[in-house]
Amino acid sequence: MAVSSATAALHISCLALGVGPGQTVWTVPNTFVASANCALYTGARIDFVDIDPSSLNVSISELERKLSQTPPEKKPSAMIPVHFSGGSCEMREIHRIASEHGIKIIEDASHAIGGDYAGRKIGSCQFSDLCVFSFHPVKIITTGEGGAITTNSQELYERLRRLRSHGITRDQAHMTSESEGPWYYQQTELGFNYRITDLQAALGASQLKRVDEFVNRRRALVKRYRSILSGLPVKTPWISNDDSSAWHLFVVRLADSLSISRKKVFEAMRAKGIGVNVHYIPVHLQPYYRSIGFEPGDFPNAENYYSETITLPLYFDMTEADQDRVVEALRSAIQ
């Protein structure tokens, strides 16, 4: 189901699963705010589970601990695990735990199109109800702006189809009375104008044909980054045994022993024309989320990661000379 943005995809995915007032959704703090905002749009509450310090995805042990300490009436009705930087969460374990507690699963795979998990492409929904992708201009493939949702449920698909287009149906099976003619439609619920345009869809279809090419190039660049960064006081990302990540982002963590701050490193690299960034400010530290009760220290793994991280440039057309320039600028900044 193609939609106008990944945020729209997350919003109507929550609605399709029946998320609403009186319910709670859990996600991780190490993500863009949309992964949490989508639950609030429905009137539900939001809470977070801390990340694993190595994978930077949701911590399975923290998830189990939090569920064991949460009263039944406050347990989440849905969970949004985020595949940070393009590497899949431990979906088999998440599915096992969620099934035991009656929790629905929406994978936020905004970073992960083209990635693999358990022998299948991310988005197969082998261990989830729904999976969301982003086609924002900075993502692995783009439609200019847009998103998509995958599911193996025909019922959820039909609900999503209505929700993305004002809650309208032309299908007699979903109408409350007999159709009056070929022109007839009914609005059966409150939906949204979340359709993707034909022009965007055409661009996305052409990009999709190259997704494996794009991901394989990123994997090669990541392999080389790890090699040429060896010897510098930075920690490179964890890689699974089969390197199944789609590698939307390449983040490094600066060593505690450095005498220079992350801010100074960032500024020095930007001054040399290197487009570094930081992903992500933990969602619970944003002023809005502080205003609804979250505090610094609530999720220490995400906060520690944020204090050390810097994202290095990574893109399909990157050359080895580009990489060498990035690493030299990093070396110069920290030495």
The 10s digit of each residue's pLDDT in 179-216 is 999 999 999 999 999 999 999 999 999 999 999 999 99
Report the pLDDT value the prediction gives residue 103, as an integer from 0 to 100. Answer: 98
Confirm or reject CATH 3.40.50.150 for domain 2-208, answering yes or no. Answer: no
Tokens 């599911």 locate to: 151
Q: 31-85: per-residue pLDDT in tens?
A: 999 999 999 999 999 999 999 999 999 999 999 999 999 999 999 999 999 999 9
CA–CA dist 20, 6 (Å, integer) = 19
Tokens for 111? Answer: 């970073």
Indicate if the alpha-carbon torsion angle 168, 170, 172, 178 is positive or negative: positive
Q: Are 38 and 7 in contact (CB under 8 A)?
A: yes
* pLDDT-flagged residues of the chain (< 70): none
Tokens for 171? Answer: 């299908």
Report the pLDDT value the prediction gives residue 306, as an integer from 0 to 100. Answer: 98
Report the pLDDT value the prediction gives residue 81, as an integer from 0 to 100. Answer: 98
Q: Which helix (H) or strand (E) holds 212?
A: helix 211-228
> Is the overall model pTM greater than 0.95, yes or no?
yes
Report the pLDDT value the prediction gives residue 209, as an integer from 0 to 100. Answer: 97
Name the DSSP class of 51: B
Report the pLDDT value the prediction gives residue 241, as an integer from 0 to 100. Answer: 72
Report the pLDDT value the prediction gives residue 110, as an integer from 0 to 100. Answer: 98
CB atoms within 10 A of CB 224: 15
Report the pLDDT value the prediction gives residue 32, as an integer from 0 to 100. Answer: 98
Report the pLDDT value the prediction gives residue 217, as an integer from 0 to 100. Answer: 98
CATH of domain 211-334: 3.90.1150.10
Report the pLDDT value the prediction gives residue 132, as an integer from 0 to 100. Answer: 98
| E-state strands within the chain | 2-3, 24-27, 45-48, 78-79, 104-108, 116-117, 120-121, 130-134, 147-150, 168-169, 186-187, 234-235, 250-254, 309-312
Q: Are 226 and 252 in contact (CB under 8 A)?
A: no
Q: Where in the chain are the domains?
A: 2-208, 211-334
Report the pLDDT value the prediction gives residue 88, as an integer from 0 to 100. Answer: 97
Report the pLDDT value the prediction gives residue 116, as an integer from 0 to 100. Answer: 96
